[in-house]
Amino acid sequence: MVVSFFFRAEGSFLGRIEPEILSWVTIVGGFTLLLGVVSIVRVNYTAVKRKADGWGYKLATLISVFVIAIPAMLPTGWSDQFGRGDGSIYKWLFNYLDAPMMATMFAMLAFYIASAAFRAFRARNAEATLLLITAIIVMLWRVPMGEEFLLSIHPDIPGWINTYIMGGANLAVQRGIIIGAALGAAAMALRIMLGIERTYMGK
């Protein structure tokens, strides 16, 4: 892949093989994800078979996996309710069970975040105070009532928040983190390629 980056002229052997290899990685990656689901099924099946603690809940998990996955894998030619299209069992279960439950799970985090904020937002030192002030300003800015309050202090405040906090300090830190993480990822890639890093092989 590294060599093909430098010599992938259109129509050349490397130019043709690169998208093919990327597609191979996607396919193997897809199987890897299925492996994860098979693992979930195995673990839950074993617990149900042994009637372990909470086996009824694990049975519910197993039924849920099969109820959504099997109709999605069956050919649409057999029935309109198979596959992943509109009107399918898969789509119905996603729209009326999975998506609302996902939204509820994330909505519940609002309570835990509020609880965490109460503990974390104590202005113990200058850094914590800075975090507290920025969070309050951004939260105020994100709700219409808060924005009106900020506008009543000075009409340019919402614009300043957008420019100097979000597009200034926040952007700078995100860039710093992206650059740092990318350098780390590149270094790790080099370690893997040179055989220094072999932990992924269980060594």
Partner 1 sequence: MSLVEFLQIWIIAFFTLSLFSFLYKDNPFYKLAEHIFAGLSAGYYVGLIWESVILQQMIDPMFNNGKWWLVFPGILGVLMFSRFSKNYSWISRISLAFVMGTTAGIFLVSELHGKVLPQIQATMKSLDPSQGFAGFILALIIIVGVISTLIYFYFSKEHKGALGGVAKVGIWFIMISFGAHFGYTVMARISLLIGRVQFLIDDWGGSIVQLFS
CB of 93 to partner 1, least distance (A): 6
Dihedral, CA of residue 154, residue 161, residue 121 and residue 124, to nearest 10: -80
Of 134 and 150, the one with the shorter C-beta distance to partner 1 is 134
Of 151 and 198, the one with the shorter C-beta distance to partner 1 is 198
| Encoded amino acid at 192, one letter | I
- How many C-alpha atoms does 130 have within 13 Å on its Cβ side? 6
Specify the residue for token string 């990685």: 25
Of 108 and 151, the one with the shorter C-beta distance to partner 1 is 108
Q: Does 25 bind partner 1 (CB under 8 A)?
A: yes
d(CA 74, CA 30): 18
Q: Which letter does DSSP use for residue 154 in this model? A: -
Sign of the C-alpha dihedral, residues 174, 180, 183, 187? Answer: negative
* From candidates 9, 10, 11, 32, binder to partner 1 by CB under 8 A: 32
CB of 82 to partner 1, least distance (A): 10
Kindly identify the residues of this chain, within the stretch 78-107, that bind partner 1 according to CB under 8 A: 83-84, 90, 93-94, 96-98, 100-107
CB of 9 to partner 1, least distance (A): 16
Of 151 and 176, the one with the shorter C-beta distance to partner 1 is 176
Binding-residue total with partner 1 (CB under 8 A): 108
Of 37 and 151, the one with the shorter C-beta distance to partner 1 is 37
In residues, how long is the chain? 203
Q: Does 31 bind partner 1 (CB under 8 A)?
A: yes
Encoded one letter per residue, x for contact with partner 1 by CB under 8 A and - for no contact, window 106-145 reads: xxxxxx-xx--x--------xxx-xxxxxxxxxx-xxx--
CA angle 70, 32, 189 (to 5 degrees): 155
Which ranges of the chain does DSSP label H, i.e. alpha helix?
Answer: 2-6, 13-49, 55-73, 89-93, 99-120, 126-142, 144-153, 157-160, 171-193
CB of 174 to partner 1, least distance (A): 7
Kindly identify the residues of this chain, within the stretch 44-73, that bind partner 1 according to CB under 8 A: 54, 57-58, 60-69, 72-73
Q: Does 163 bind partner 1 (CB under 8 A)?
A: yes
d(CA 28, CA 21): 11
